[in-house]
Structure 1
Amino acid sequence: MALALAARPDAEEPWPQPFARDVLEGLGRAQKTLPAKYFYDEAGSQLFDRICDLPEYYPTRTETGILRDAAGRIAARAGAGCSLVEFGSGSSTKVRILLDAMDAPAAYVPIDISAEHMRSAASALRADYPGLDVVPMAADFTRAVHLPADLPGRRVGFFPGSTIGNFTPPEAADFLRQAGETLGEASLLVLGVDLRKQVGRLEAAYNDAAGVTAAFNLNLLHRMNRELGGTFDVAAFRHRAFFNPVESRIEMHLESLADQRVEVAGQGFQFGAGETIHTENSYKYSVDDLEALAGRAGWKVPERFTDTDGLFAVFCLTRQD
């Protein structure tokens, strides 16, 4: 059944879609949930940038180290004059490692749902790489994306940060298939993946002592208040993150601290004390499991790179014949 969006009381325009529709659908479920992509408004994107610099958050510095060590070999696979396409580009920080190693890259296409944050990063890249054609695309990369038809050279996808872990495995396979269709024949995809490890280290990465990850999670409530007329008392919720061993994933939740009722986009929702909104998954893979997943999605793995502690891996994927 389609959800009817109530009219905004102060404007002729409806509540922003698809944000409002996804929120109403998610909060209407028995286990309330919200899509993780809505973390990344301007405030959320800035908070995530801070998360990446936290001492507990090993993925960013580990992947960065792998990319620095492997950049030459990745660039050799990409070839001269390629077009680099980054899914969920954020601040476009790690891509600089590849751009610096590549032979005369022709174009860089950052794709991100947070348009303002992405365009600021794109402007900085244009200044630092004057010979590079930077073509930002404000889009939801979890859906079909149509790249400019005139992109020169080989298309090389870049999907770092283990963002693939935010999808369920079937969703991850769907994304990889879709990325292959987006990039086209003879393309290359450079994929960052967080590997399975000790639970204590995993949970610490999502429960930092400074509370930045908690602020990032709670920012979803602020965003719904601001953009959808929400009445969330942010202080009446807390951040929770824990490892689910059955699903091999970190789960992030927002837990209600009391019985309460809230309104958002013109509809009311009841919360019991202890009830949660499930806001994010971060699946952790073994190398073999990821290679099998990629194979089901039409990719083969000619090369992969890991750190010495086996915390993280960067895969080079090529289309299967």
Structure 2
Amino acid sequence: MEKRKLGTQGLEVSELGLGCMGMSQFYGPRDDKESAATLERAVELGINFFDTADVYGVGHNEELVGKALNKFRDRVIIATKFANQVLPDGKRAICGRPEYVRSACDASLKRLGVDHIDLYYQHRVDKQVPIEETVGAMAELVRNGKVRYLGLSEASANTIRRAHATHPITALQSEYSIWTRDYEDDVIPTLRELGIGFVPFSPLGRGFLTGNLRELPADDMRRKVSPRFDDENMQRNQKVVDRLQEIAREKNITPSQLALAWVLAQGRDMVPIPGTKRRTYLEENVAAVKVQLSKNDLARIEEVAPKGFAAGGRYHDMSTVNV
């Protein structure tokens, strides 16, 4: 497993990270024992970059990750996030107020069982609070030794510029994959201009690019979140994934490995964090770092899955992304 640099402040991580959200919510029942084994196996395979958030399982994920990685603390980079709140009535809210930044960080440190957070993201931008105020409070955490590096998630190019002018931003985490490429227009060029790393989440298209999601139950979270998983859109999108599977088959790799290799090939400033809670899928994903895509391979992928091919929007509600 090679290393890649995120930002210009000194953070270096494994070229593939592990997204931990699914260990606590959304993708079926929890299995803490298998999740802990998956986290340990990731370290064995050379992954040192682990992504969680305070909202994942409403604290459960941070506790799980912190406990499993405790014995590897000096070898791993732990990233977590704040700003997505679950209110007492179950509704969600976004908060970037300085006092909340401080309290959320303290709560995450306690759940993780660590004395500092390596990379601390604002999970979603709060439209009611100037980004300078939020990042100013995050910068205090760095000065106080509670956080090493700062990040944003799903922020627009303008917000990134303003944030970076307040305190150096090390990484942006946003959705990016073969079927989600909207950040290529403005955000990724801005990141490269400013020397900020990019951490793509859902590089496997919430599982769709694996080729294994032919149909979904009516109550599946993905149907509730994204129009791309409506029946008609899934059928249209599946035709493209079938063609990607053909390319993968010719290269004797899985569709997942093709999708991850594509993201890795987009630049060494990108570190994708595919999520899984099972060792089998983890090992399959890690093997993608060995896949070399030629210019011809990339051209073929572009031909069968051109930018913007996906039928249906990324979310039903796009009001909290690219803010």
Q: Report the structure, 1 or 2, having the larger strand content.
A: 1
Q: Report the structure, 1 or 2, having the larger helix content.
A: 2
Q: Shared fold by TM > 0.5?
A: no
Structure number with bigger Rg: 1
TM-score using structure 2 length = 0.38
TM-score using structure 1 length = 0.38
